[in-house]
Amino acid sequence: MLNACLNGSRGRDEHPAVPLTPAELAADAVRCVRLGAGAVHVHPRDAAGRESLHPEVIAAALDAIRAALPGLPVGVSTGAWIEPEPAARVAAVRSWTVLPDSASVNAHESGAEEVAAALHERGVMVEAGLWTVDAVEAYSRWRVPAGRLLIECMAQDRAVALADAAGMLSALPYAAAGGVPVLLHAEGPATWSLLTEAVRRGLDGRIGLEDTLRLPDGSTAPGNAALVTAAVAAGAR
């Protein structure tokens, strides 16, 4: 499965094609799905352009994407940088009036299991974000099931990111045995190397302006559609 990560925390100051409004997210999702993406991951924004977990902000983005693409799996983030207080993140999830199909929860963040539990209680698939081997170990103690594991390599150096991926993946024998899908990705210069590694290992992958502004040849991507096209050409599906 190729997941298109459309915006992340980026703003227009980083790339003019970063989609921010519900209409922009929906239009970009349509383009990416037509080119081969099987799901999208978005960071909804409020009227001031800030990432938000507010129910109206989440609902507006989800409604717009689903109106354009009924049935498309749509995921959001619950990163602590959006709402630093764990109890407030839990309260936000419980206040959502429209539910995403999935939501990522970073296992290393304070209150991660409680946020995951709130999502699970509401029927939202939990994507456990694992950035380090220590995070893998922390996740292994969760009592909340995840529907997908995100092996997220944040090192900018390609060799280091690949080594980090191998270390985290080797720490997941229980996940492999349990059949939990694994999505492997990086951010920045290591993005394309890790996408190639995901394809080689038969894992899910993702691509989009959240992770990189560059095409494999190093040139600036015009937008998410070009990144998805390049990912599909590289063997991602």
**CATH at 105:** 3.20.20.70
Token pair, residue 217, equals 């040849």
For residue 130, the model assigns a pLDDT of: 97
Residue 234: Cβ-neighbour burial (10 angstroms; 0-12, 13-18, 19+): middle
Question: Positive or negative CA dihedral for 142, 148, 153, 158?
Answer: positive
Tens digits of per-residue pLDDT, 160-174?
A: 999 999 999 999 866
Q: At what angle do helices 158-170 and 191-201 cross, to 10 degrees?
A: 40
Residue 71: Cβ-neighbour burial (10 angstroms; 0-12, 13-18, 19+): exposed
Dist CA 212 CA 226 (whole Å): 12
Q: Which helix (H) or strand (E) holds 103?
A: strand 102-106
pLDDT at 188 over 60: yes
For 194, phi then psi, to 5°, come to -75, -30
Mean pLDDT over 15-24 rounds to: 98
Tens digits of per-residue pLDDT, 49-102?
A: 999 999 999 999 999 999 999 999 999 999 999 999 999 999 999 999 999 999
For residue 53, the model assigns a pLDDT of: 98
Mean pLDDT is lowest, of 72-76, 126-130, 150-154, 175-179, for 175-179
| pLDDT bucket at 175, cuts 50 / 70 / 90 | low
Share of the chain above pLDDT 70, in %: 97
CB crowding 136-166: b at 16 or more within 10 Å, else e: bebbeebebebebbbbbbebeebeebbebbe
For residue 172, the model assigns a pLDDT of: 87
* Number of domains composing the chain: 1
For residue 220, the model assigns a pLDDT of: 98
State the chain's mean pLDDT as an integer: 96
Expressed as residue numbers, the domain containing 17 is 2-233
Dist CA 212 CA 8 (whole Å): 10
